[in-house]
Amino acid sequence: MSTAEATTNSGSVDLLLWVIFPYVCLAVFAVGHFWRYRYDKFGWTTRSSQLYENRLLRLGSPLFHFGILFVFAGHVMGLGVPESWTKKAGVSESMYHATAVGSGSVAGLCTLVGLAILIYRRRTVGPVFSATTKMDKTMYLVLATVIVLGMANTVVANLVGHYDYRLGVSVWFRGILLLNPHPALMAEAPFGFQVHGLAAFLLFALWPFTRLVHVFSAPLGYLTRPYIVYRSRGDSLGSRKPKRGWERVGS
Amino acid sequence: MRVMAQMAMVMNLDKCIGCHTCSVTCKQAWTNRSGVEYVWFNNVETRPGQGYPRRYEDQEKWRGGWILNKRGRLALRGGGRLRKLLTIFSNPTLPGLDDYYEPWTYDYDTLTNAPLQEHTPVARPKSLISGKDMKIEWSANWDDDLGGSPDHGDKDVLLKNIADKVKFEFEQTFMFYLPRICEHCLNPSCAASCPSGAIYKRSEDGIVLVDQDRCRGWRQCVSGCPYKKIYFNHRTGKAEKCTFCYPRIEVGIPTVCSETCVGRLRYIGLILYDADKVLEAASTEDDHDLYEAQRSVFLDPDDPEVVRAAEQAGIPRDWIDAAQRSPIHALINTFKVALPLHPEYRTLPMVWYIPPLSPVVDVIKDTGFDAEDKGNLFAAIDALRIPIEYLAELFTAGEVAPVDAVLHKLAAMRSYMRDINMGRDPDESIATAVGMTGEQMYDMYRLLAIAKYDERYVIPPAHAEQAHSLEELATECSLDYDGGPGMGGSGPFGEGSGATPPVSVENFQMLQVRQTSDSIVAPADKASRVNLLNWDGRGAPEGLFPPRDPDPDAAATAGDRS
Ligand code: HEM
Ligand code: SF4
Ligand code: SF4
């Protein structure tokens, strides 16, 4: 297996940071969501705070959300699609780069400004602040770190250095998903990218335990379902499940 | 024909004395928790007035309910599905806490703990949202009994359509009370606005409920409901609404608001309707025809064909019997004295109202004439255009004729019964003048004035063979559910997280927490707040009485008190 070959030329710290840590985080992410969904469906919500305050939210929330959804799409492109594919499709490196940096920084800026407004609001609006949980604070800390570093990397990597992340970080990230990790690639990456990556995985590990679970409930089904939902009293067996072996039979 | 049964309510407004008992008992039963301090599933408004939340009837602003779009098709006034999703990150038409009111309690503690001083200590109001001192400026019934109306009475949304403005001068004004709960609409726009599909209409009895496990806090339903009867619990992040006291209805007893109503003015019963006709009725072109359109959706439970279709649709025989004896069917279809609230919202509401004759009667009495004389009453109904137009704005989208007809019937009943009560021969011509027979007049009188308990409430219990699946009926140990016991309080993700306990268990827990809690406003743990409104007379929340002295003699005296 190539992991063995990769480990030979990278230290155990690299192995820990770029292989073990990501997998642990992903495992927590997956199991955590499963567990939370089973244990805490009632807590699975956006915990909207609009009732307390609307003026800042009306500005910050759409900025942040449209920004981050675009940034997410950008990451799917940048991390998910190998450079060789875009080349084959006839998109030159410089062309790809220009569009990615162009649209990416606009979206990134929106996200950042939106996030700043949201955090400012959380801290300064009394009722919103008192409705902020410890998990919210932790989540905002890590989320802000990830976003700020990501933005910084985009700026620095384009203005100052010339690091082609599509040949480094992206390949490593795909390796993680394809169970074929290349820790060495990450060990060579600039410091900013390293921390961004680590913080991002930490965010994944936190994800199931924060309000961020609302992302997985994005209500796309609304576009197709009938307007009025009818449900029979009979098919939901109350809030209490029958004991095993005592489930009702069909007749 | 697709027959469905709907549990519905009618309120006889003439009898409402505006005592708010219904609101308080409802609050005690359902919304005495943190996160819903500002919520009244049942509220009583003085009309004319702004209502709760303030000016909720201004659909230009709040965009609730349905409208007909340019192609004459029914559409959500708040916009289509895509628009709803695009505005999900910040809902443009969500009422803020200001539009309801900022809930508060008092620091009663200072009343008993203050040192001896020259001035009497006062309990200051404390916000239940921020825990800080606050100035009370509005509440759910601030303009009760027209309080302050000369200053802000003209903010009543309905007045803009009435030509001669209502005068808020003492001698010329009129008023009545309007108790409101969720309408459990046949075409609920709250459900249609919910992106997660968490709001559903129960197919057995038509009660509209929010599935707390599926609600994701997108808060679009709050905007979708034109009656503003969906509330957002700001602690749990979920929508809540009037439940029509389903755990009570399922076992055949009336809702808490009805049971405790001092005026005994609420009626509960079944109505059968044709689900296939709902969309057509809601799409009626002219707002003025919506009242009749909705009536045309209802089915006659005595028609053998309807009975057959109902049986085919799986409606149990005793439910059909109950539909035949239903006071709702009688008031809406037989006597035709009940009218829907704001049919122009096109949700086909199912809590109907008998408009009050009292504004008319009061005027006649004040002028010294006989308020039970048919001639006087009929003449006054025709003369008092402002109250009638106002009622029409509420109940028939501004069409005066149906309101007129109802008031004439109520007036006729008054004079017809007077003859009987005075031992004179009943005058059949009074009944025929309003298109009824003397016998019908008497039956209506029985239902409206005598209003026996078992005639007001005809509630067939949910089916015994389904008892096991009823949400609350305890056929097993009531603590025996997923995640319990040891419930109450909250999981690690903030208030209310963790598995859902059954409502009955939750209320029991809540009560216990309240009775043993030790602070008025403790932002660190809002579950333990004490609000006098929520105090049920048992136990002694601290702050209400001085703390018990640890030394035994003093404890004995303290014991005497309780
Ligand atoms: C996929 C579609 C998404 C939808 C429909 C959505 C919707 C919402 C809604 C309705 C709120 C509540 C706003 C309020 O009224 O207070 C919210 C809050 C929030 N969302 Fe999203 N969201 C989405 C994706 C995301 C993503 C991808 C992230 C970040 C990774 C995110 C992070 C947040 C945060 C941090 C808040 C809290 C804002 C605050 O009140 O401080 N959301 N979201
Ligand atoms: S009145 Fe009740 S059922 Fe009708 S739209 Fe409002 S919340 Fe829904
Ligand atoms: S309890 Fe009855 S009489 Fe009193 S306000 Fe409520 S509806 Fe009116």
Q: Tens digit of pLDDT for each residue in B309-340?
A: 999 999 999 999 999 999 999 999 999 999 99
- Give the model's pLDDT for residue A142: 97
CA distances from B273 to B315, B350, B461 (A): 12, 11, 19
Q: What is the mean pLDDT of residues B293-321?
A: 96
- Give the model's pLDDT for residue B151: 76
Domain of residue A132 covers: 3-221
Distance from the alpha carbon of residue A46 to the mean position of ligand 1, in angstroms: 6
A124 is a domain residue: yes
Instruction: Tell me what ipTM this predicted complex has.
Output: 0.87
The SS3 of residue A111 is helix
CB-nearest to A231 from B96, B202, B471 is B202
A229 is a domain residue: no
- Interaxial angle between packed helices A21-39 and A191-206, expressed in degrees from 0 to 180 and rounded to the nearest 10: 20
A245 is a domain residue: no
Distance (Å, rounded) from C-alpha A201 to C-alpha A205? 6
pLDDT tens-place string over residues A8-37: 455 888 999 999 999 999 999 999 999 999
In terms of CA atoms, which chain A residue is nearest residue B484? A240
- Give the model's pLDDT for residue B483: 45
- Give the model's pLDDT for residue B162: 73
User: Is 0.90 surpassed by the pTM of this model?
Assistant: no
Burial class (CB in 10 A: 0-12, 13-18, 19+), B521: buried
Confidence label for B90 from pLDDT (cuts 50, 70 and 90)? very high
pLDDT tens-place string over residues A195-221: 999 999 999 999 999 999 999 999 999
Confidence label for B530 from pLDDT (cuts 50, 70 and 90)? low
- Give the model's pLDDT for residue B529: 47
Confidence label for B503 from pLDDT (cuts 50, 70 and 90)? low
- Give the model's pLDDT for residue B469: 46
pLDDT tens-place string over residues B223-278: 999 999 999 999 999 999 999 999 889 888 999 999 999 999 999 999 999 999 99
For the domain that residue A203 is a member of, what is the CATH number? 1.20.950.20
The SS3 of residue B522 is coil
A235 is a domain residue: no
Q: Do residues B40 and B101 touch, judged by C-beta distance below 8 A?
A: no
Whether B143 has a pLDDT exceeding 80, the answer reads yes
In terms of CA atoms, which chain B residue is nearest residue A53? B96
Q: Say if strands B230-233 and B238-241 run parallel, antiparallel, or are unpaired.
A: antiparallel
Q: According to DSSP H, which parts of A76-190 are helical?
A: 83-88, 93-124, 126-130, 134-159, 169-177, 183-188
- Interaxial angle between packed helices B317-324 and B304-312, expressed in degrees from 0 to 180 and rounded to the nearest 10: 140
Q: Do residues B4 and B206 touch, judged by C-beta distance below 8 A?
A: yes
Q: Do residues A10 and A188 touch, judged by C-beta distance below 8 A?
A: no
Q: Could you give the percent of chain B with pLDDT greater than 70?
A: 80
SS3 letters for B188-217? CHHHHHCCCCCEEEECCCCCEEECCCCCCC
Q: Which residues is B355 bridged to in the sheet?
A: none
Q: Could you give the percent of chain A with pLDDT greater than 90?
A: 63
A236 is a domain residue: no
Q: Do residues B203 and B209 touch, judged by C-beta distance below 8 A?
A: no
Distance from the alpha carbon of residue B289 to the mean position of ligand 1, in angstroms: 43
A84 is a domain residue: yes
A15 is a domain residue: yes
CB-nearest to A229 from B131, B197, B496 is B197
Q: Average pLDDT of chain B?
A: 85
B523 and A130 in contact by Cβ < 8 A? yes
Q: Say if strands B266-274 and B339-340 run parallel, antiparallel, or are unpaired.
A: unpaired
Whether B201 has a pLDDT exceeding 50, the answer reads yes
Of the segments B126-130, B332-336, B530-534, which one has the largest average pLDDT value? B332-336
* Residues with pLDDT less than 70, chain A: 1-10, 161, 234-251
Confidence label for B359 from pLDDT (cuts 50, 70 and 90)? confident
Q: What is the mean pLDDT of residues B185-206?
A: 96
Distance from the alpha carbon of residue A68 to the mean position of ligand 1, in angstroms: 10
Greater confidence, B188 or B488? Answer: B188
Distance (Å, rounded) from C-alpha B237 to C-alpha B212? 10
Count structural domains, chain A: 1
In terms of CA atoms, which chain A residue is nearest residue B66? A227
Q: Do residues B320 and B301 touch, judged by C-beta distance below 8 A?
A: yes
A41 is a domain residue: yes
Which of B81, B82, B89 best tests ligand 1's pocket when mutated (most atoms within 8 Å of CB)?
A: B89
Can you tell me which atom of ligand 3 is nearest the CA of B18? 5
Task: Give Cα A57 to chain centroid, integer Å.
Answer: 21
Instruction: State the ligand closest to the CA atom of B145.
Output: 3
- Give the model's pLDDT for residue B338: 98
- Distance, first Cα to last Cα, chain A: 56
Q: Do residues B332 and B10 touch, judged by C-beta distance below 8 A?
A: yes
- Give the model's pLDDT for residue B55: 95
Greater confidence, B464 or B374? Answer: B374
Ranges of beta strands (E only) in B355-452 are none
- In short, whether A61's Cβ falls inside 6 Å of ligand 1 is yes
Q: Do residues B10 and B141 touch, judged by C-beta distance below 8 A?
A: no
Listed range (B295-309, B408-422, B475-489) with the worst mean pLDDT? B475-489
Q: What is the mean pLDDT of residues B200-219?
A: 94
Confidence label for B374 from pLDDT (cuts 50, 70 and 90)? confident
- Interaxial angle between packed helices B374-383 and B358-366, expressed in degrees from 0 to 180 and rounded to the nearest 10: 110
Confidence label for B473 from pLDDT (cuts 50, 70 and 90)? very low
Distance (Å, rounded) from C-alpha B463 to C-alpha B249? 11
- In short, whether B184's Cβ falls inside 6 Å of ligand 2 is yes
- Give the model's pLDDT for residue B220: 96
Confidence label for B505 from pLDDT (cuts 50, 70 and 90)? low
